[in-house]
Amino acid sequence: MGIVKISEDMHENLRISSNALSRSINAQAEHWMRIGMLAELHPNLDHSAICRLLIRAEQSGGLDLHQLTQEAVSA
């Protein structure tokens, strides 16, 4: 676990979104980072496809960054 410094504006965006979506601020930040990471690894996927990928990963035991990176490289 570490500390990530973000701007006041981003923190406010996180606070608003986390309240609206019933997540903690940290959970909302992790969600956005996970979506962004997957969007960079798989630029051909839209948001819906990324969400499906996350659901499948969860059903398979969780998101494995190493496996996703390998899949992105071999694609």
pLDDT tens string 16-50: 999 999 999 999 999 999 999 899 988 999 999 99
pTM, entire model: 0.76
* Whole-number Å distance between alpha carbons of 16 and 19: 5
SS3 52: helix
What pLDDT was estimated at residue 46? 94
Q: Which carries the bigger pLDDT value, residue 30 or residue 65?
A: 30
